[in-house]
């Protein structure tokens, strides 16, 4: 409590209240007129200069919070003071932020009530942010003091914090975007306009049943079900090979399965075209051998299905590897002790306990397929899907935000339906396998009847992946891909050349600016994404509170919306006060956090479903609070989930396309937007060389993250691989 009271006063008295053009961390504001200059002034100086007088009422809750000092938590007045101060301060800060903008009052009724406002307001800065946080967490401490969630300050504060940031950076921008579905050309609202766009035949048509083309909605649904099913099966296959086969080259297999996720999607599409396109290498070989006329079979459902399965299988693998490793070895050993063979043990014990992971892997594959537009853009042909339709509705010649919003609503409906279908399939059964009791077991190997098809499938898919990436690597070192195959390193030199001078290294390559910006943004977003995702998963699996289902839905909402819509909605929401961050690096970091957070949430939920609540209860019984329990008991057992969240958020920030197109600026240009620019200029060699460099950089980063996070070791014994002898 004392910390947040002090923080609130510091934000009001010392820190710049409004956003700084050069950034807070540059510290230039300290030597450029601070604190008297109104561009850098704290709230107290603005009020003292009779500027921004609407900030005066904030002094009341700041003073009011001081009355909680010296009172015991059991004193009813303690909770009342904190709740009143926090609620009034936070509500007023929001009201004045939205009520007053860059042109004065934002609402006509305020102008009617108070007259024209001759002043204006900019976006909030660090001062306003700190004060808002102080009011929020004083409010949550007061609510906890009233006995909410057993009076647990950490849990109540975590719930309050996640609700506020999800509302701010998920619900608010998407709501701004979806409102456009009811807006007419004159700026008014019309339900009939919404209905005409929603029931469009291009969206729901079933012409494919009579030899024509189906609507984008049915195409997207069918494709997403196929991709979700295939990626889940393949993810489980690779997880079983790594954990249940005694395979010697697990590290190489892990790296191979992660490769597609660290590659810009359109690069995989280009590689597939080079292999299987009308003039592709494989197509020409087959045509010459069998005398078959080449066709455009790749363009449409087959090509998108192959590309998305290749790209999204690693997501399923990252989720399932932790779940497969988390099944208690002693339960499987107990089944074998009771005369069950390996197949019976796997079918009746291991596989049912993996259901949370399988359900979450399918859900993520389904959502990823729905939201992806890079692969359909390259390989779609006449196979229309919702994501590309949204993209062209926004950036195409039609520029119809209303249609884009309607399409986004349909996509959200499909995703939400998959979410509830997953919950119904899991039901209320318990999948707990890890309790406070020590476990010294060893996971049994797969039964031979299962191992043979698993190894064949994994081997074939691994070989296919190697071929695809071989073509990508080859394309980066030839003069002109598919035309002049002379080997050259000129594309790498153009992008990443450097020169040593007396003053130091000079980065002369054309790609260095976007490369360092991408590394900085991804490194900042990854840990924040993991933190928010795992805390949210802890709240969903370990706590019961009012509105829990809505809370979980909110955390998944951003993942269900295509990145294109996220990018446009962020521009609409955060281009004006109270949060004015368009064109900054912050908006990129925020978009990555809330776009990728659901992976951390789902991975955390899948892993925590296997941890017995008796672990938490034992810790609390021994005097630890919820934060200590979460930090010292739960987190060490969630290393696979932590690794999944870190790896996924980092590499997706490095390879994201859709939202980045709209959010980059001249100062903050990302690698993918630079690569797309090269592709548009037909400079494929440089684009592929840059993509190849990113692949190797991210492979190194993934290896570093695996080393830093470590692995979860439940059993005390190690599993012997083939050829090793027991001592």
Instruction: Give how many domains the chain has, as a whole number.
Output: 2
Residue 562's pLDDT is what?
A: 67
Q: What is the pLDDT of residue 441?
A: 55
Domain identity same for 458 and 363: yes
* Separation between Cα atoms, residue 711 and residue 324, nearest integer Å: 13
- Looking at per-residue pLDDT, the higher value among 652 and 41 belongs to 41
Task: Average the pLDDT over 169-194 and give the result.
Answer: 79
| Residue 462 within a domain | yes
Count other Cβ atoms within 10 Å, centred on residue 650.
26
Q: Mean of the pLDDT values across residues 40-46?
A: 90
Interval 182-226: pLDDT, tens: 877 766 777 887 888 888 888 888 887 877 788 899 999 999 999
Report the run of H or E that residue 160 belongs to, with start and end.
helix 153-166
Mean pLDDT over 131-154 rounds to 91
Instruction: Check if the beta carbon of residue 539 is closer than 8 Å to that of residue 162.
Output: yes
> How do residues 294-308 score in pLDDT, each as one tens digit?
888 888 999 999 989
Q: Reply yes or no on whether the pLDDT at 367 is more than 90.
A: no
Domain carrying residue 126: 2-146
- pLDDT score, position 443: 64
E-strand stretches of 36-102: 100-101
CA distance 82 to 61: 9
pLDDT at 538: 86
Tokens at 359, concatenated: 């359900």
Closest CA to 443 of 167, 243, 187: 243
To the nearest whole number, what is the mean pLDDT of the chain? 82
Residue 20 lies in a domain: yes
pLDDT higher than 90, residue 250: no
Nearest to 426 by CA among 286, 330, 570, 323: 323
Residues 327 and 446 reside in one and the same domain: yes
pLDDT value of residue 160? 93
- 373 pLDDT band (50/70/90 cuts)? confident
Cα 653 to Cα 672: distance, rounded to the nearest angstrom: 10
- Report CA dihedral (235, 237, 242, 244) to the nearest 10 degrees: 130
Going by pLDDT thresholds of 50, 70 and 90, the confidence category of residue 719 is: very low
Tokens representing 38 are: 């109104």
How much is the pLDDT for 492?
A: 92
pLDDT category of residue 137 using cuts at 50, 70 and 90: very high
Residue 425 and residue 297 share a domain: yes
Instruction: Return the percent helix, strand and coil in the chain, to nearest 5.
Output: 70, 5, 25
Q: Which two tokens stand for residue 282?
A: 């494989």
Same domain, 117 and 258: no
One domain for residues 309 and 419: yes
Q: Dihedrals φ, ψ of 50, to 5°?
A: 60, 30
d(Cα 537, Cα 534) in Å, to the nearest integer?
5
Same domain, 86 and 232: no
- The CATH number for 353's domain is 1.10.3720.10
Q: To which residue do tokens 């007088």 refer?
A: 53
Task: Count Cα neighbours of 474 within 13 Å in the Cβ-side half-sphere.
Answer: 16
In a domain, 652, yes or no: no
pLDDT digits (tens, 9 = 90+) for 402-424: 787 788 788 878 887 887 787 77
Q: Mean of the pLDDT values across residues 86-90?
A: 96
Does residue 232 share a domain with residue 105? no
Six-digit token pair at 538? 């802890």
The Cα 85–Cα 1 span in angstroms is: 12
pTM of the model: 0.78
For 603-649, the DSSP string reads HHHHHHTTB-THHHHHHHHTT--HHHHIIIIIGGGGHHHHHHHHHHH
- The answer to whether residue 69 sits within a structural domain is yes
State pLDDT tens for residues 686-695. 888 898 888 8
Residue 233 lies in a domain: yes
DSSP state for residue 212 in the 8-state scheme: S
pLDDT average, residue stretch 343-355? 77
Q: With contact defined as beta carbons under 8 Å apart, do 473 and 268 qualify? A: no
d(Cα 684, Cα 675) in Å, to the nearest integer?
Answer: 9
Q: Which of 433, 468, 503 is the last residue of a domain?
A: 468
Most confident of 216-230, 481-495, 536-550, 596-610: 216-230
Mark whether 252 and 373 lie in a shared domain: yes
Q: Which residue has the higher pLDDT, 85 or 470?
A: 85
Write down the residue that tokens 């959200």 correspond to.
412
Domain shared by 228 and 137, yes or no: no
**Domain identity same for 317 and 457:** yes
Assign 709 a pLDDT band (cuts: 50, 70, 90): low
Q: Using the CB atoms, write b or e for 200-225: b if 16+ within 10 Å.
A: beebebeeeeeeeebbbbbbbbebbb
pLDDT at 697: 86
> Considering 146, 167, 190, which residue would you say is the last residue of a domain?
146
Contact between residue 310 and residue 227 where contact means Cβ atoms under 8 Å apart: no
The first and second tokens of residue 144, run together, are 């906890």
pLDDT of residue 521: 92
At 725 the pLDDT is: 43
For residue 704, the tally of other CB atoms under 10 A from its CB is 12
**Residue 154 belongs to a domain:** no
- 120 and 228 belong to one structural domain: no
Buried residues in 388-406 as b, exposed as e (16+ CB within 10 A): bbbbbbbeeeeebbbbbbb
Find which of 248-257, 460-469, 551-560, 642-651 is predicted with most confidence, using mean pLDDT.
460-469
pLDDT at 559: 66
Q: Is there a domain that residue 102 lies in?
A: yes
pLDDT tens digits, one per residue of 431-467: 545 544 445 556 667 777 788 888 888 888 888 888 8
Residue 724 is predicted with a pLDDT of 43
Is residue 628 in some structural domain? no
Q: Which pLDDT score, from 0 to 100, does residue 560 have? A: 63
Cis amide linkage into residue 469, ω under 30° from 0: no
User: Highest mean pLDDT: which of 69-83, 411-425, 559-573?
Assistant: 69-83
Give the end of a domain, one of 128, 146, 164: 146
Same domain, 456 and 358: yes
Question: What is the rounded distance in angstroms from the CA atom of residue 572 to the CA atom of residue 566?
Answer: 10
């Amino acid at each position: 409590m004392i910390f947040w009271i002090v923080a609130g006063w510091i934000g009001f008295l010392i820190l710049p209240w409004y956003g700084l053009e050069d950034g807070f961390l540059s510290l230039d504001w300290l030597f450029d007129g601070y604190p008297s200059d109104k561009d850098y002034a704290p709230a107290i100086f603005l009020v003292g200069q009779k500027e921004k007088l609407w900030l005066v009422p904030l002094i009341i809750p700041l003073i009011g919070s001081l009355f909680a000092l010296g009172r015991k938590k059991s004193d009813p007045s303690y909770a009342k003071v904190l709740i009143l101060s926090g609620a009034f301060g936070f509500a007023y800060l929001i009201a004045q932020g939205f009520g007053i903008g860059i042109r004065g009052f934002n609402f006509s009724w305020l102008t009617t009530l108070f007259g024209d406002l001759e002043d204006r307001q900019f976006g909030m800065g660090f001062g306003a942010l700190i004060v808002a946080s102080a009011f929020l967490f004083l409010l949550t401490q007061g609510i906890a003091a009233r006995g909410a969630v057993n009076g647990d300050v950490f849990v109540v504060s975590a719930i309050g914090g996640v609700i506020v940031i999800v509302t701010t950076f998920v619900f608010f921008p998407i709501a701004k975007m979806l409102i456009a579905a009811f807006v007419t050309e004159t700026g008014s609202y019309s339900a009939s306009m919404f209905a005409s766009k929603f029931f469009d035949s291009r969206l729901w048509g079933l012409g494919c049943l009579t030899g024509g083309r189906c609507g984008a909605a049915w195409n997207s649904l069918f494709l997403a079900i196929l991709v979700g099913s295939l990626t889940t099966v393949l993810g489980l296959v690779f997880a079983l090979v790594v954990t249940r086969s005694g395979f010697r080259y697990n590290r190489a297999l892990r790296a191979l399965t992660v490769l597609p996720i660290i590659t810009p999607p359109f690069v995989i599409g280009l590689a597939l075209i080079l292999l299987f396109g009308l003039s592709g290498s494989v197509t020409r070989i087959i045509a010459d051998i069998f005398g078959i006329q080449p066709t455009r079979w790749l363009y449409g459902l087959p090509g998108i299905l192959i590309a998305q399965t290749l790209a999204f299988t690693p997501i399923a693998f990252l989720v399932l590897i932790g779940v497969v490793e988390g099944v208690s070895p002693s339960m499987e050993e107990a089944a074998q002790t009771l005369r069950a063979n390996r197949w019976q043990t796997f079918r009746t014990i291991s596989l049912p306990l993996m259901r949370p992971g399988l359900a979450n892997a399918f859900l993520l594959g389904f959502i990823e397929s729905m939201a992806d537009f890079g692969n359909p853009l390259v390989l779609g042909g006449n196979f229309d899907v919702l994501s590309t339709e949204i993209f062209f509705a926004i950036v195409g010649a039609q520029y119809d935000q209303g249609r884009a919003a309607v399409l986004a609503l349909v996509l959200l409906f499909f995703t939400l339906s998959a979410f509830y279908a997953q919950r119904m399939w899991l039901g209320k059964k318990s999948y707990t396998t890890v309790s406070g009791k020590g476990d010294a077991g060893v996971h049994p190997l797969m039964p031979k009847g299962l191992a043979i098809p698993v190894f064949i499938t994994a081997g074939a898919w691994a070989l296919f992946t190697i071929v695809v990436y071989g073509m990508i690597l080859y394309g980066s070192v030839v003069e002109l891909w598919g035309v002049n195959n002379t080997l050259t390193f000129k594309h790498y030199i153009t992008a990443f050349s450097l020169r040593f001078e007396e003053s130091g290294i000079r980065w002369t390559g054309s790609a260095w600016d976007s490369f360092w910006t991408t590394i900085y943004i991804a490194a900042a977003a990854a840990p924040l994404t993991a933190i928010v995702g795992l805390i949210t998963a802890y709240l969903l699996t370990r706590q019961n509170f009012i509105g829990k289902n809505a809370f979980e839905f909110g955390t998944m909402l951003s993942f269900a919306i295509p990145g294109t819509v996220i990018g446009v909605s962020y521009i609409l929401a955060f281009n004006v006060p109270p949060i004015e961050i368009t064109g900054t690096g912050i908006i990129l970091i925020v978009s990555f956090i809330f776009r990728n957070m659901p992976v951390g949430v789902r991975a955390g939920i899948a892993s925590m479903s296997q941890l017995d609540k008796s672990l938490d209860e034992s810790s609390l019984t021994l005097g630890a609070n919820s934060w200590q329990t979460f930090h010292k008991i739960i987190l060490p057992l969630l290393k696979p989930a932590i690794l999944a969240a870190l790896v996924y958020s980092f590499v997706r920030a490095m390879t994201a396309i859709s939202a980045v197109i709209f959010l980059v600026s001249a100062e903050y240009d990302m690698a993918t937007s630079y690569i797309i620019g090269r592709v548009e200029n037909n400079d494929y060699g440089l684009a592929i060389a840059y993509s190849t460099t990113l692949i190797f950089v991210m492979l190194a980063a993934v290896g570093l993250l695996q080393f830093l996070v470590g692995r979860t070791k439940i059993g005390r014994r190690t599993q012997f691989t083939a050829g090793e002898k027991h001592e």
